[in-house]
Amino acid sequence: MDYQFKDIEKKWQQFWADHQTFKADNLSPKPKYYVMDMFPYPSGAGLHVGHPLGYIASDIFARYKRLKGFNVLHPMGYDSFGLPAEQYAIQTGQHPAITTEDNIATYRRQLDQIGFSFDWSREVRTSSPDYYKWTQWIFMELFNSWYNKAADKAEAITTLAEHFEKHGSKGINAASDEEVLTFTADDWKAFTSEEQQKELLKYRLTYLRESTVNWCAALGTVLANDEVKDGFSERGGYPVEQKKMMQWSMRITAYAERLLQGLDTIDWPEPLKEMQRNWIGKSVGASVKFGLTPTLSSGEGANSTKDSSSLSSGEGWGEAYIEVFTTRVDTIFGVTFVVLAPEHELVSQLTTPEQKATVEAYIAQTKKKSELDRMADTKTVSGAFTGSYVLNPLNGEKIQLWIADYVLAGYGTGAVMAVPSGDQRDYLFAKHYNLPIVPIMDIQNIEVEADPTKEGKYINSDFINGLEYKEATAAVIAKLEEVGAGKARVNFRMRDAIFGRQRYWGEPVPVYFKDNLPHLISESELPLLLPEVDKYLPTESGEPPLARAADWHYTLSSGAGQGEAFSYELSTMPGWAGSSWYWYRYMDAHNETEFASKEAIEYWKDVDLYIGGSEHATGHLLYSRFWNKFLKDIGKVVEEEPFKKLINQGMIQGRSNFVYRLVDEEGRPTNTYVSHGLKDQYKTTPLHVDVNIVTNEILDLDKFKKWRTEYETAEFILENGKYICGVEVEKMSKSKFNVVNPDDIIERYGADTLRMYEMFLGPLEQSKPWNTNGIEGVFKFLRKFWRLFHNDQWEFTVANEAPTKAELKALHKIIRKVEEDIERFSFNTSVSSFMIAVNELTDLKCNKRAILQDMVVILSSYAPHICEELWVQLGNPAGTLSYAAYPKFNPEYLIEDDFAYPISINGKTKMNLNIPLSLDVKDTEAFVLANADVQRYLDGKAPKKVIVVKGRIVNMVV
RNA sequence: GCUCAGAUGGUGGAACUGGUAGACACGCAGGACUUAAAAUCCUGUUCCCGUUAAAGGAGUGCGGGUUCGAUUCCCGCUCUGAGUACCA
């Protein structure tokens, strides 16, 4: 029979499902291999042809690894909490769980059609209670932990409480809030239980505190930094403003250094690592305290962070100071002013009465500027003098204190020491306000701009004069430490991640409030189920949707306060909560007593290959690494990094087609459409046309007329009897009529063709537009492959004779090629090689079992359905192909007796010459020179030089 | 501005450590089969000049360099895409 892909594919998909062919075993003597895809959010639109690209690549890899003898874990699930289902619920009143369920069904149907070798018995859904029970459990573990910097790991919060009990706050080096108390053991014991809890909260790895958040009014929720792009929400593009709110946060900054270091140990694309490094933003420098002047302290408006009374002590600096962060502490003698962010908390106190009006006007002006304006307008210099002065801690020099919006409140200490000779922003500021600029390097050129050089020797710099950069930095830091005015410090740009969302469709936070303090519910009460609500909107008083849940309160089953009803936390967890640990759930998806068993985790360990898009660089991929490190610290998992190797598949863009509608003199649209090549001779407007009625840019006129009623009577101006459409690459979207659905492709060509064509399109990592033109080539290839096994009457016919040398050569070439290609994720080149191999075997009229059976195994990772069918027809038991052995490459079959050397003169190839490979370099040269054609090219002259690279090339210089 | 990735026929792309540029496929042109069409098969297809065939020249974004030899390595530039942005 001819190649009937529909019957074949249906049959084998059914077989795999019925026999659970791809179920992975948690106990196996085989080496493990874990191949995972970024699980999808099941949107209402279903899959388009771009979505499965990465899944196909990972599936080929997973199937290949099975053939190579690995026990492969290749699971799939759904990231099913999220905003779109909730937005839909708000509009229609439909419960998000129902839409989510429907969407998952669509996704599953579409995925099944493509023939993936997923182990569906391990499917996870983040919105399912038996899954989010464990997300809540991890949250509780984080709440119960603090980060001990001395041990460089997370520890149980009880160890911190014990330390406070014994030693007070002394000797604790922890990741914590900024304002923690200093107290003795006796102080601690004297604290009320609430006071103790309040203090512990400042150390917990997930904590509640008043913080400035990205508030998106249109979405009614806060957003994490990575969910905000240029002042607008990443989803929906709504404006985002800064707002102070009581919020749950994750103390990811505790792990900043480990997150940075870990990047060097994993095999990820360099650009992606770079993005994470930038996001973490480590800078090494020093913090320096600029003391407030005593003159000021006795005057109006003086105050300090600690204790203003000590200012009169005459120390000059000491208790009252401005702290700055700098990466160039060596330039401290070039400081000519200090600048605070306008939002700095000490600004109002440090403004003198004379400057009050100016400063307040400036603050009002900067407040008006939106975040966007402030970013866009980096050229204009603006600021205001506070009237106050600070003292340089190393030479006591009196320095003006300014405010300016080029200093950001959220970075470092919100204050900078300005060195106009070395920093361009400080330079412009100094020029604009006529502040002094002092050179500090002998070779510095500061005539037109700042010169940040580290070369040369210091001048105007007190005790470091004449020194070089390295020794000067060390000397300054030593001196600062000696006088107690500063120390070496590392600063990170990364902030703690906001962990609450004022939304409905997310994991409830397992916390209730008693005396205004958060408490965990008991572990036995997990999962804390998402309650039913009448509407999915915030309440009239602005509380999150969960406040609408009737009768939703926490009651203590025992102890103090028993029977009393406490209110639950009303915000839910953000979208990234469920995706920050899901690879562990796949290891042991149905465990009811743990998130995954110890045995399962110790067997599977980590993800060997993770494939997904680069858009998750600073979100999911960073949070996942953070949670993984935490779980490692508390002894629940074994690897420091969760994803050993990661590959970003490129985005599949849309390829839009256009028709050109003629417009008349007055600019009114007509009913006539001009072909692309002639459109410049007319006045036209381009209109998107459905790419599914266009083939090789030629418009199907009948389909076009039927497409929409307005085109029913359309007329055309054709070129060469055809209507040619215009082309443009855009995002794939419904409104551009360029969406290609995999279902349609499978209907016409089958899943095997789709799989191979998606790979054939180009390198996996590269972004490229989808173009269905060309899919015929892959389809023809599969038919040609099928034909190798069949005679002219389409009867299955294979011969048992021994293969010829040529046949073995064709086979072993492809055995090696595909192996090499898959190992380096170059799937597109494999497809070409398969075509070459089948073309060769077709030319050789090869139908020998010894060749074809191995071909079936090699091709089966790419085109599994057709191969299963042929495998069985070859007489093998059904279902054994997936676990067959990849054929062994034998280099002997590729050994050649001679080689057609390209003979070139001065690097230009002139001819080819067959020369036995048994000849050595010298004999080869003689062989070439003896050739009559070569002599003709040389025109009788002897070449100056002859280069012979054995088995590659002969080059003659004349 | 900074960082990264990329630029090869009409199109998607190949050429792995410097060694025959354009594999493989699409498209296009011509042919076979057919009453015809579809399907299938065969031949050609980087460009220029020339043409029965040949022979010749140019050629991997642009300009230089290293080398017997460069799509590949080095320097400078242009363009495209992505990320990031007053980070002290």
Phi, psi of A772 (to 5 degrees): -70, -20
Residue A423: CB less than 7 A from any atom in strand B: yes
Q: How far apart are CA A206 and CA A518, in angstroms?
A: 11
Residue A239: CB less than 7 A from any atom in strand B: no
CATH 3.90.209.20 fits A744-893, yes or no: no
In this structure, are residues A329 and A473 in contact, taking their beta carbons and an 8 Å threshold? yes
User: What DSSP letter does each residue of A258-323 carry, written as one string?
Assistant: HHHHHGGGSB--HHHHHHHHHHH-EEEEEEEEEEEPHHHHHSTT---SS-GGGGGGS-SSSSSEEE
Q: What is the mean pLDDT of residues A852-866?
A: 96
Tell me, what's the pLDDT at A373?
58
Question: Which nucleotide in the DNA or RNA is closest to residue A281, CA to C1'?
Answer: B87
Residue A828: CB less than 7 A from any atom in strand B: yes
In this structure, are residues A316 and A300 in contact, taking their beta carbons and an 8 Å threshold? no
Residues of A marked as binding for ATP? 734
CB neighbours of residue A836 within 10 Å: 14
Cα A311–Cα A317–Cα A322 angle in degrees, nearest 5:
100
CA of A52 to C1' of B46 (A): 35
**Cβ-based contacts (< 7 Å) between A 881-920 and strand B:** 900, 902, 904, 906-910, 912
In this structure, are residues A633 and A58 in contact, taking their beta carbons and an 8 Å threshold? no
Q: Domain A27-128+575-648 class?
A: alpha beta
**Sign of torsion over alpha carbons A795, A799, A804, A810:** positive
Question: Which nucleotide in the DNA or RNA is closest to residue A771, CA to C1'?
Answer: B12
Q: How far apart are CA A235 and CA A212, in angstroms?
A: 20
Specify the length of chain A in residues.
958
For residue A283, CA distances in Å to A260, A328, A411, A625 come to 12, 11, 11, 21
Residue A452: CB less than 7 A from any atom in strand B: no
CA A881 from centroid of its chain's CA atoms:
35
Q: Which residues are within 8 A (CB) of A793 and not within 5 positions of it... i.e. 6 or more apart?
A: none
Q: What is the mean pLDDT of residues A59-86?
A: 94
Residue A298: CB less than 7 A from any atom in strand B: no
In this structure, are residues A60 and A101 in contact, taking their beta carbons and an 8 Å threshold? no
Beta bridge partners of A686: A660
**Cβ-based contacts (< 7 Å) between A 454-493 and strand B:** 491, 493
Phi, psi of A442 (to 5 degrees): -65, -30
Q: How confident is the model at residue A781 (pLDDT cuts 50, 70, 90)?
A: very high
Beta strand A669-674 with A715-717: parallel, antiparallel or unpaired? parallel
Closest residue to B20 measured CA to C1′: A902
Residue A955: CB less than 7 A from any atom in strand B: yes
Residues of A marked as binding? 734
- Express each pLDDT in A633-656 by its tens digit: 999 999 999 999 999 998 888 888
User: Which amino acid is residue A494, in one-letter code?
Assistant: M
Question: Which nucleotide in the DNA or RNA is closest to residue A286, CA to C1'?
Answer: B88
Residue A69: CB less than 7 A from any atom in strand B: no
N-term to C-term CA, chain A:
62
Inter-axis angle of helices A742-749 and A751-760, nearest 10: 120
Q: What is the DSSP letter of A69?
A: T
CA of A688 to C1' of B71 (A): 37
- A627, with CB counted inside 10 A (0-12, 13-18, 19+), is buried
- Express each pLDDT in A177-209 by its tens digit: 888 899 999 999 999 999 999 999 999 999 998
Q: How far apart are CA A882 and CA A65, in angstroms?
A: 10
Q: Where are the alpha helices (DSSP H) in A404-502?
A: 424-433, 469-483
Q: What is the mean pLDDT of residues A95-123?
A: 95
Q: How confident is the model at residue A378 (pLDDT cuts 50, 70, 90)?
A: low
User: What DSSP letter does each residue of A654-681 carry, written as one string?
Assistant: EEEEEEEEEE-TTS-EEEEEE-GGGGGG
For residue A3, CA distances in Å to A776, A786, A835, A870, A873 come to 14, 6, 17, 11, 13
Nearest of A502, A496, A575 to residue A222 by alpha carbon? A502
In this structure, are residues A137 and A523 in contact, taking their beta carbons and an 8 Å threshold? yes
Q: What is the mean pLDDT of residues A430-435?
A: 90
Domain boundary assignment for chain A = 27-128+575-648, 139-252+498-568, 282-492, 652-739, 744-893, 896-957
In this structure, are residues A206 and A248 in contact, taking their beta carbons and an 8 Å threshold? yes
Question: Which nucleotide in the DNA or RNA is closest to residue A768, CA to C1'?
Answer: B12
Tell me, what's the pLDDT at A196?
94
- Express each pLDDT in A121-158 by its tens digit: 999 999 999 999 999 999 999 999 999 999 999 999 99
Tell me, what's the pLDDT at A317?
38
Phi, psi of A859 (to 5 degrees): -75, -15
Tell me, what's the pLDDT at A375?
56
Question: Which nucleotide in the DNA or RNA is closest to residue A777, CA to C1'?
Answer: B25
Average pLDDT, chain A: 88
Q: Which residues are within 8 A (CB) of A220 and not within 5 positions of it... i.e. 6 or more apart?
A: A502, A503, A537, A538
In this structure, are residues A139 and A509 in contact, taking their beta carbons and an 8 Å threshold? yes
For residue A594, CA distances in Å to A416, A510, A884 come to 49, 17, 35
* Helix or strand run (H / E) with residue A746: helix A742-749
Q: Which one has a higher pLDDT value, A30 or A346?
A: A30
- Express each pLDDT in A271-322 by its tens digit: 888 889 888 988 888 999 998 875 444 344 333 333 333 333 333 334 588 9
SS3 state at A8: helix
Fold of A896-957: Ubiquitin-like (UB roll) (3.10.20)
CATH 3.20.20.150 fits A282-492, yes or no: no
Q: Find the Cα–Cα–Cα–Cα dihedral A407, A411, A414, A417, rounded to 10°.
A: -70
pLDDT of A401 > 50? The answer is yes
Question: Which nucleotide in the DNA or RNA is closest to residue A947, CA to C1'?
Answer: B68
Q: Which nucleotides of B are covered by protein (CB under 7 A)?
A: 3-5, 11-16, 19-21, 23-28, 40-41, 56-57, 68-70, 81-88
